[in-house]
Amino acid sequence: MSGSLGISANEDTVESVLSRNYRYTVPDYQRQYSWGEEQWRALWEDLQALRDGDTHFLGSIVVIERSSGLNELDRLEVVDGQQRMATMLTMLAVMRQKYLDEGESGQADAIRNEYLFEQDLDQQEYQNLTLSRYDNDSFSAILNCNFGQVDNETLNEALEFFGSRIHGLDLDETDVLRKRLLSSVTLVSIECTEEQSAFRLFETLNERGLELSSVDLMKNHIFSIAAQDDDVDYEAVKQSWQTTVDNTVPHLNKPSRFFRH
């Protein structure tokens, strides 16, 4: 699908989405990882219910392509979908540790090299998905299976949720789970050529029932207007938003209340 808004969309398996020759990045102005047990449990139960030949549609991811120069992998900046991607990669990291514990180093290495990390032509390694600076230290520890170094409470809870279930599986059951996640779960991957298209799409998805916080919608509205007006310094708007986030989120129990007011 394509159109005048500079948008293209394709339905892909999780394996295809994670195997592109790009690195996904979540900008600092995006909200932090926020999925909880309700979402984790729904994903787990959907995977368990899949049978041979079935597929499960997980949702969409919206990205903007960013060139990184000759010597680095280009980036796909994640406008929407980081929750799904971070959760799936967390599951794969737990599976990798399961294989390591069972002496299956070949399968563990395949997960790490094909899905958790990407390399450029100079063999420089990158996380397949890099979260915002508020989450990424803990997420990096998850991808490297350094689970004892995960100090982000929400990511640690996700790790414990999937860890308790995956480590209770035998190897055959783990193989089945891995194949279901990679080959039977699909996503609509939507690529936008510019911010304006991405933000307009983001609002459309919300109008169709996707639950987003008031802060997400406020940020999207501000950035959308800034992207449309050539007289506005878009980078300055992003920096101002980031400064506001830096000065509120770490210090308030309910930062969304501040933004609403």
Same domain, 162 and 60: yes
Q: Is 106 part of any domain?
A: yes
Q: Is 117 part of any domain?
A: yes
- Read off the pTM: 0.77
| Type and span of the H or E element at 78 | strand 75-80
Confidence of residue 197 (pLDDT cuts 50, 70, 90): low
pLDDT tens-digit readout, 131-170: 988 899 999 999 999 999 999 999 999 999 999 999 999 9
Same domain, 171 and 83: yes
pLDDT tens-digit readout, 55-67: 999 988 888 888 7
Same domain, 133 and 53: yes
Residue-range definition of the domain harbouring residue 139: 7-193
pLDDT tens-digit readout, 69-89: 667 788 898 988 899 999 999
| Type and span of the H or E element at 57 | strand 56-66
Of 150, 172, 193, the one marking the end of a domain is 193
φ, ψ dihedrals at 204, nearest 5°: -60, -45
The sign of the torsion formed by the CA atoms of 218, 219, 225, 228 equals negative
Give the integer Cα–Cα distance in Å for 215 and 65: 24
Same domain, 189 and 250: no
Note the pLDDT of residue 28.
Answer: 78
Same domain, 204 and 260: yes
